[in-house]
Amino acid sequence: MKSKAFKEILSLCLPYKGELMANFLLNVLNAVLSLFTFLSVVPFLYILFKVEGQRPSTASYSAWSKIESVLNDYIAQHGQVSALLLMCGVIVTLAFLKNASNYLALLRIAKVRTAISRDLRGALYEKVLRLSVAFYSNEKKGDLISRMTNDLMEIEFSVIGALEALLKAPIMLVFSLITLFVISWQLTLFALIFLPLSGWLISKIAKSLKNAAKRGKGSLGELIAMIEETLTGMKVIKVFNAEPHFADKFKDENQGYFKLMHRLYKREYLSSPMSEFISLCVISILLYVGGGIVINGNMSGALLIGYLVVFSQVIQPARALSEAIFKISKGAASLERVNEIMYAPESVQDQPDAQAMAAFEDSITFQNVSFAYQENTVLHQINFSIQKGETIALVGPSGSGKSTIASLLVRLMDPTAGEILIDGQPLSSLKLKSWREQVGVVTQDSILFNETIANNIALGSEEWDVERLHSAARSANAMEFIEQSPGSWEFNVGDGGSKLSGGQKQRLCIARAIYRNPPLLILDEATSALDTQSEQVVQNAIENMMQNRTSLVIAHRLSTVQRASRIIVLDQGKIVQMGTHEALMQEEGLYKTLVELQELP
Ligand code: ADP
Ligand code: MG
């Protein structure tokens, strides 16, 4: 994990190197101040030991012997008690400065950690908008949501939180170790023998933590997916008395998640007692070895206690460091999950030399187009063309591939084989945005957003033109119900348009397509949810709109496509017939059968 995850995190931090640098410098200041705070115990003890008439230490460190002589002079002049008071004053001052610098350092980090998770969330959302729709039919929605919320939070808490330790602990560690070496290199060498052992233990736990964390996150994704599905399908679950089934299914998932998380925490909680135990072992050894040195008269007792105090300060950053490694391992699992989205191939995207499309001039041609959802080929060798101004109808049994053709034409997906040509140019060589500006679509399922009616109709436009809004609504036969709804244009349609009826939703979608006023119109069963009366009105509106335009109309009610310039009959992903209504009625074929079936009383 390490090198790659570290690199990722570093690249996230890059924009904030100023803040991080400031944090680092403040940490250096903090480390120095901390050391002096802790070392101040030595003169303090020295003063006390003086009372018991201990002989002056034989320490050979020039710095310490200087302090010793200054202290001796001070005690000679003012007495021991006032020397004690002086030391306490020094400690309070040092402690204040040390904690002030620590707070200032944390302030820098506070900004960085939240900013990084903001950046990551923003980048992820933009990526999600760019991914092809094929990606979403492969992934579970709930799992995606879990990655974009939960895993991001985990990254903030663990990985970025660990940064805090990484920028601080090593400084403290290095300074303390240097001090320790200066005081007694023999003792310090003894202490360091334990380093490889703890390093090995840490890496072992870290690895198993990461694996457990990754499985835990995956399982949480499943759980959220199920909640999402349940909320969406609530009406059906209730009406079909399916609550027990869903409750059982959820119980299983939930229990599975519990087991994974239980295992994870068992490992995570092991890290802290384990490092504490190791450090206490090391301290005992130091007590034994260091005590021996003092007893032999090679070091003053005050200095050994000072040594131990500084050493106990090594333990804290060493632990912080090993815990940071655990945190990163746990966060790395989340980072991997987020990166699976971040680096998912954007199959539908502009080629580097893509050209902007000025206006649709001449024709659309499907040339040997085949398409497969994963392994399942649903379109086979489709060939047809649409001249500018024509209305082409696509008919066929459900599941024959009509909607898939519409999706290919707006380039929500790319064909697996063959090509779509626009005015003789491959669709894939055109700038996506410029092509989609030419197209208005009414999709089979009415897709509305939790916004006002006006915003839903003028979707994708920065500001709306009231005149156009009204005329689009009038053409879609939606004016009446819009004006009757509370708040009229400002009426919020609810989640997915849940506050509207099926027919109302569809009329808003039609109004949305009309509002764009595009040269090419794609209607995928645009009137399927309307009652006969509304359909008649909307049908007229659609026919008005289709004049002077090129359109591809998918309809299962065949009465609505009779006036099309050409009708393409699709069956199981293949074109089986093509021609005008009159010509197709002359043939014995699928079309005639379908028409006759619908004409039955
Ligand atoms: P139609 O619009 O003619 O009813 P579609 O184009 O929606 O048919 O679907 C054609 C075939 O593709 C169907 O057999 C359907 O099962 C399959 N299909 C549609 N969408 C997906 C998808 N997202 N993933 C896998 N298969 C799909
Ligand atoms: Mg369809």
Q: Is the CB of 443 under 6 A from ligand 1?
A: no
- What is the Cβ-side half-sphere exposure of residue 525, based on CA atoms within 13 angstroms? 17
Q: Which position has the higher pLDDT, 385 or 8? A: 385
Q: H helices then E strands: how many in the chain? A: 23, 10
pLDDT at 53: 45
How much is the mean pLDDT over the chain? 82
pLDDT at 63: 63
Contact indicator for 219, 256 with CB cutoff of 8 Å: yes
Which of 132, 135, 378, 379 for mutating ligand 1's site (highest number of atoms within 8 Å of CB)? 378
Report the pLDDT averaged over residues 384-396.
89
Which of 395, 404, 442 for mutating ligand 1's site (highest number of atoms within 8 Å of CB)? 404
Q: Whole-structure pTM over 0.85, yes or no?
A: no
Residue 428 pLDDT more than 60? Answer: yes
Q: Which ligand is nearest to the CA of 413?
A: 1
The residues that bridge with 371 in the sheet, in sequence order, are: 379
Those residues whose C-beta lies under 8 Å from the C-beta of residue 228, and which sit 6 or more positions away, are: 141, 142, 145
Q: Which ligand is nearest to the CA of 405?
A: 1
Q: Which atom of ligand 1 is nearest to the CA of 524?
A: 2
Report the pLDDT averaged over residues 66-81.
79
Q: 3-class DSSP state for residue 60? A: coil
Kindly list the domain boundaries of the chain, sorted by start residue.
Answer: 3-342, 363-597
Token reading at 412:
């929500």
| Span from the CA of 444 to the centroid of ligand 2 (angstroms) | 6
Read off the pLDDT band of 50 (50, 70, 90): low
What is the distance, to the nearest Å, from the Cα of residue 3 to the centroid of all Cα atoms in its chain? 21
| Span from the CA of 470 to the centroid of ligand 2 (angstroms) | 29
Read off the pLDDT band of 3 (50, 70, 90): low
CATH, domain range 363-597 = 3.40.50.300
Whole-angstrom Cα distance, residue 529 to residue 557? 11
Whole-angstrom Cα distance, residue 437 to residue 288? 80
Q: Which atom of ligand 1 is nearest to the CA of 554?
A: 2
Q: Which of 14-28, 206-220, 396-410, 426-440 has the lowest mean pLDDT?
A: 206-220
pLDDT at 568: 92
Q: What is the pLDDT of residues 517-555, one digit of tens each?
A: 888 889 888 777 777 777 777 777 777 777 778 889 898
Read off the pLDDT band of 91 (50, 70, 90): confident
User: pLDDT exceeding 70 applies to what percent of the chain?
Assistant: 94
Q: Which atom of ligand 1 is nearest to the CA of 405?
A: 6
For 431-495, list the strands marked E by DSSP: 439-442
| Span from the CA of 365 to the centroid of ligand 1 (angstroms) | 22
| Span from the CA of 569 to the centroid of ligand 2 (angstroms) | 14
Helices (H), 298-423: 301-342, 402-409
Report the pLDDT averaged over residues 402-417.
89
Give which of 369, 435, 393, 399 is closest to 524, Cα–Cα. Answer: 393
User: pLDDT exceeding 90 applies to what percent of the chain?
Assistant: 7
Q: Which atom of ligand 1 is nearest to the CA of 133?
A: 23
Token reading at 365:
């041609």
Q: Is the CB of 403 under 6 A from ligand 1?
A: yes
Read off the pLDDT band of 405 (50, 70, 90): very high
- What is the Cβ-side half-sphere exposure of residue 355, based on CA atoms within 13 angstroms? 9
- Enclosing H/E stretch for 73: helix 62-78
Q: Is the CB of 400 under 6 A from ligand 1?
A: yes
Task: Determine the straight-line distance between the first and last CA of the chain, rounded to whole angstroms.
Answer: 68
pLDDT at 54: 45
Q: Which atom of ligand 1 is nearest to the CA of 374?
A: 25
CATH, domain range 3-342 = 1.20.1560.10
Whole-angstrom Cα distance, residue 234 to residue 6? 43
Rounded to whole angstroms, what are the CA distances from 391 to 31, 39, 378? 77, 89, 24
Those residues whose C-beta lies under 8 Å from the C-beta of residue 537, and which sit 6 or more positions away, are: 477
Contact indicator for 313, 155 with CB cutoff of 8 Å: no
Integer-rounded Cα Rg, in Å, for the chain is 37
Residue 55 pLDDT more than 60? Answer: no
Q: Which atom of ligand 1 is nearest to the CA of 373?
A: 25
pLDDT at 5: 59
Q: What is the pLDDT of residues 449-500, one digit of tens each?
A: 888 888 888 887 777 788 888 888 888 788 888 888 888 888 888 888 888 8
Q: Which ligand is nearest to the CA of 382?
A: 1
pLDDT at 455: 85
Q: What is the pLDDT of residues 315-350, one digit of tens each?
A: 778 777 877 877 888 788 888 888 888 888 887 778
Contact indicator for 388, 361 with CB cutoff of 8 Å: yes
